[in-house]
Structure 1
Amino acid sequence: MNYLWEVLLGARKQGIAEDGIRFTMAKEYSAYMEVSNQFLNQKEMEEGQVVEVNPYYRFYDIFKELYQPEMKEYTRLRDSLTNLVFHQLAENDVLSGMTREEYYKKLLYRDLMEGAYGMEARTAVGMLDRDEREIVLSGLLRQYQTGSSLDIFKDMMEALVPRNIVYHSNENFYEIFVYVGGKKDRKTEIKINFLLQMFIELPYCVDLYYEHHFGILGVEETMRIDEITLC
């Protein structure tokens, strides 16, 4: 369950009263997902369940003034108001149908899994977990809306590949260096190749470095003997 409307429909399907679900501001949440479930693949609801929601995913204008860091008073009132507003927003979602963004994501996911972007892309998407898939689909939508961007590629790398650094060459505008601070393995390689395919356009050229960083003059941490990759 990624969205408010999915939570509400799931509760109705299980015969759980809507007032038996309590929505609250998420303590920790992904920037790419609306509902923060305790378990990634959770599908079943429980009576009295508390559902944590990232209000800034779709409803920033509504909640931007309600949870300012300096606001310490009236916490119970704000919690009750948050629950009430989320219930109304979820009801609005159900009445209006699937959100346009979710609809586009489902179309993109279907195309990827049907091989429209090639079998390598299909294999890569099949290896992603739910959070990673949502991140990729959100990134693709951003790219379709704003055009190809190196910043989007950097965001995708940061979200999907641990301990990486993306460098843009000062000497050649179309040259990119990617350092991954871990050993090369099949899953990581497939992920990176997929991101390169989907988010890096011609005529950019990308050089990949695993485990050992390439040396950068003036940066002592990258100039250690036996820990440098020559390029």
Structure 2
Amino acid sequence: MEMKKEQYQYIWYSLHKLISEDKDTEKIYFKVSPKISPYMELNMEEINYAALDKEYILETNPFYRFTHVFNEFMNPDLPIGEKLKGEMVNILLHMLGNLDLQEGLNKRIILNRIIIRELEEGRYGEEIQKCFSVLNRREKIAIADGIQDKYRYDREWEIFKKVMSKIYKDSIIYDSIDEQEKIIIYINEKKSSENKKKELLIEKLFMPLGLKSRCFWGAHFPVLGVDEVMRIGEMVIF
């Protein structure tokens, strides 16, 4: 399963990936990177474990989250050999990574994996399955995140808008002045069969009951006082 880009930076990700593929996590060897980045825990974004038949060395920044654990331990004046220190770093990071896997963030990712599989298998209905099939992996994760939030927080309207903005970054949702239970959706994308399926999927899964929608694709309708949407040939009549 594809993860969000920022999730690749954590030590638990490499362990989770191997566990999900029934591979041996002991073949990973964590070591302190000679060039520590202050912005990430691992020095690489993506790892290919397809042919993992020997020890795989991962360079890490143990101070990214675990300064309290490693600050004294990594003191260069500590009377301990470098080889033993390296072995202890590896053991500690394995332990911390496995503890990570018990935390909520990672539980969420595992649940996303289950939700995506159920959507792909048609457990939410055939129409949902067909619409879901046109999404890429990033978009599928956004949908799974939304489903978790929907059942956890029960705030359908906020979640609907959040998921819409994740799938279509350049989109706007308006309340209809004429009809209280109607919303207007503007999506700055081509009105293709694939995009229509994505928009329908979001409505089916997240739009609050009782609401109706009207969707505008590409060209925006005119709004008085907003020059960007009042250009002739670049707007549609509402």
Q: Secondary structure at the match of 1:166?
A: strand
Shift of 1:204: 0.8
Q: Residue 24 of structure 2 aligns with which residue?
A: 13
Task: Please say if 1:37 is aligned against 2:45.
Answer: yes
* CA contact 1:113–1:122 (8 Å) conserved in 2: yes
Alignment partner, residue 98 of structure 2: 91
CA contact (8 A) 1:20 1:49 kept: yes
Distance 1:111 1:206, change over 3 A: same
Instruction: Map Cα deviations across residues 149-204 of structure 1 (whole Å, 9 max, x no partner).
Output: 22212221221124222222355442211111122112211111101110102211
Contact 2:29 2:58 in 1 (8 A): no
1:212 Cα offset (Å) = 0.8
Q: State the SS of the aligned residue for 1:208.
A: strand
Give distance in 2, aligned partners of 1:51 and 1:169. Answer: 52
Q: Which residue of 1 aligns with 2:174?
A: 167
Inter-CA distance 8–93: structure 2 relative to 1 (3 Å threshold): farther
**TM-score, length-scaled by structure 1:** 0.66
Q: Is the 8 A contact 2:181 2:212 kept in 1?
A: yes
* Deviating more after overlay: 5-14 vs 195-204: 5-14
Gaps of 5+ in 2: 4-11, 69-73, 76-89
Q: Is there any run of 5+ residues in structure 1 with no aligned partner, and where?
A: 29-35, 56-61, 67-75, 78-82
Partner of 2:56: 47
Partner of 1:150: 157
Deviation at 1:222, TM superposition (A): 1.6
Question: Which residue in 2 is equivalent to 1:197?
Answer: 204
How many aligned residue pairs are there? 199
Give deviations 1:72-125, integer Å, cap 9, x for gaps. xxxx99xxxxx99864332225689x9543453344233322322222211232
Offset of residue 220 of structure 1:
2.3
Secondary structure of 2:231's aligned partner: coil
Please state how far the C-alpha of 1:129 moved relative to its aligned partner.
2.5
Distance 2:216 2:154 in 1: 27
The separation in 2 between residues aligned to 1:89 and 1:119, in whole angstroms, is: 42
Match of 1:219 among 216, 226, 231: 226
Q: Structure 2 CA distance, aligned partners of 1:168 and 1:118? A: 29
Q: Is residue 119 from structure 1 mapped to residue 126 from structure 2 by the alignment?
A: yes
- 2:190 aligns with 183
CA RMSD of aligned residues (A): 4.1
Return the TM-score normalized by structure 2.
0.65
